[in-house]
Structures are given as C-alpha cells and as structure tokens.
Amino acid sequence: MGADNQTWVGEFILLGLSNNWSTQVSLFILFLITYLVTVLGNFLIVLLIILDSRLHTPMYFFLTNLSLVDVFYATTVVPQMLVHFLAAHKIIPHVSCAAQLFFSLGLGGIEFVLLAVMAYDRYVAVCNPLRYSVIMHGGLCMRLAVISWVSGSVNSLLQTAITFQLPMCTNKFIDHISCELLAVVRLACVDTSSNEVAIMVSSIVLLMTPFCLVLLSYVKIISAILKIRSTEGRKKAFQTCASHLTVVILCYGMAILTYIQPRSNPSVLQEKLISLFYAILTPMLNPMIYSLRNKEVKGAWQKLLGKLSGLSSKLAT
C-alpha cells in the first residue's frame, strides 16, 4: 500500500442514529432529559451519602465511586451526541475522538472492576459479618478504589494509543454515535489482527476476570444464605445484595457479547444500542435501583426530606 494512502485523518464524521431532522430533534429532547436525570440522580446519591453518617460505610463508599463513574461516562458521550443531533456536519476532531475513546473505555473498565470490588464487599458482609468492619477497613477500601481507577485508566491509555497509531487512509466516516473502540478500529486500512488480540486480552483482564470474581462471590453468598435457617434472615441477607446484583446483570451482559469476541462482528445497530445502553440507560438506572431497592438509602431519603420539610415549615412561620 502506498505511503500516500497511509495517512492519519484530521477529523472524523459520526453518522449517528438518524439523518431525519424531525427524528433527530425528538432524540435530542429525549436524551437531554435522560442525561439531566442521570446527572441529577447520581449527584443526589453522592450528596445523600455525604450528608447521612449512617451511609459512611464501605458499600456506600464504593457506590459513590460508581455514581461518579456513571456521571463521567454519560458526560463523555451524551453532550457530543446532543450537539450532533442539531448540527448539519457531525464532525469530531481527531484529538477529541481519541479523548472520547480514552475516557469512555477507561470509565467502562473502572466500572467493571468496581462492581467486582463491591461483590467482594457483599461477600464479606454476608459470609463474615462479625469481622466485616475489621476486614473492610478504610485503608483497604481506598486501595481497592485506587486499583479500580488505575487499572481502567492504564488499559484505556494502551488501547487508545495502539488504536490511533493505525493509519486510517481516507476513511473518516464512523458509523456510530461516538468514537467507540471497534468502530474506530474498522476504519484502518491495514491488518488489525494485533488490535483484535489486544482487545481480546483487555476483555479477559478487565471484563471476564472481574465477572468471574463476581460469580465466585455470589456462589459463596448464595451458599451462605441457603444455610440461614430463618426465612426472615435469608430475606434480609439477600436484600443486602439485590441492588448490586441487578446492576451487575445490567452492566456485564452486553459488554461480554460485544468485546469478548471482536471477530464475531456484531451488527452496527447492535453496537449503537449497546453504547446507548451504557451511556444513557445504565447511568440513569443505577441510582434508581439503589434508591428503590435499598432500605438504608430509602431511610436516608426519608430522613433528609423530613429535615427539609421541617426547615421549610420554620421558614414559613
């Protein structure tokens, strides 16, 4: 292949979801509302955890990290998508595309590791409750959180570097809603076997390994719950894990189907839907799941609303 063809394009064009103007306006309104709900919901969860001393526990420390990851992930993808819904030319500069890939891939990896850490926390809470505070001390929680953030960031840096070293020739049309890893790799005009191997290795390290740890934790948790004699005791033990388990099912399922076998070439529509799922639906649902299915969070909400109601009454009088 000639040297003239192996060039790096200065900008990309994201094809997005639709070319129809009225459809794009409708999607803009829908996703704007969803994004605002996502940001508000997650920040309210973080604020609630900070204000209520009863929530100053390892579980809610990790939930704070998860909520921040969700906000950052949505912010990495959605605002640019909203702009493109109303733009005539859906251009994204090369540097911006690389930055978007780095942050979205990194935050996704951080979330997977965090979910495995949270599964370990639930395992200790159910299987070793008397030593929970000793095992899950502040130093360990901080180290686990740092490992989550560093591992996701390092993996993302490596993947972004090797992806944007690929010559894209004259290809600049990304048939996606964002600069997603597989969509960008497909633009290359050279053999991408080494990139596919790197994606596979990354998937095993940051997706399948945490997923297996989650499965192992829940096998032990379920085994411990089944040994509890009272129905009320089993119900209470399961409730401590229900919210986390729901989020795990939401987050891991589609990611495994997408990234664990990059050669399987999932349809472009499937990739777009999965990206929307992670950028919009999951970050919006996570605070709702933890608010509606967790007694401690609901109790904290009631306490906070009671205080606000009392303050309003005093101000009114």
Q: pLDDT tens digits, residue range 199-217?
A: 888 888 888 899 999 999 9
* Percentage with pLDDT > 90 across the chain: 38
pLDDT, mean over the chain: 84
Of the pLDDT bands very low, low, confident and very high (cuts 50, 70, 90), residue 234 is confident
Reported pTM: 0.86
Is the pLDDT score of 262 beyond 70? no
For the segment 240-253, the average pLDDT, to the nearest whole number, is: 79
Q: Which of 7-16, 151-160, 165-174, 298-307 has the lowest mean pLDDT?
A: 298-307
Q: What is the 3-state secondary structure (H, E, C) of 213-256?
A: HHHHHHHHHHHHHHCCCCHHHHHHHHHHHHHHHHHHHHHHHHHH
The model's pLDDT over 59-81, given as tens digits with 9 standing for 90+, comes to 899 999 999 999 999 999 999 99
Confidence at residue 293, expressed as pLDDT on a 0 to 100 scale: 61
Confidence at residue 5, expressed as pLDDT on a 0 to 100 scale: 46
For residues 18 and 23, give the distance between their C-alpha atoms in angstroms, rounded to a whole number.
7
Domain boundaries, the chain: 11-300
Cα distance between the two ends of the chain: 80
The model's pLDDT over 277-288, given as tens digits with 9 standing for 90+, comes to 888 888 888 888
Nearest to 101 by CA among 206, 18, 12: 12
Confidence at residue 241, expressed as pLDDT on a 0 to 100 scale: 79
The model's pLDDT over 131-179, given as tens digits with 9 standing for 90+, comes to 999 999 999 999 999 999 999 999 999 999 999 988 877 678 888 889 9
- β-pairing, 173-174 vs 91-93, is unpaired
Confidence at residue 147, expressed as pLDDT on a 0 to 100 scale: 96
CATH topology of domain 11-300: Rhopdopsin 7-helix transmembrane proteins (1.20.1070)
Name the strand (E) or helix (H) holding 92: strand 91-93
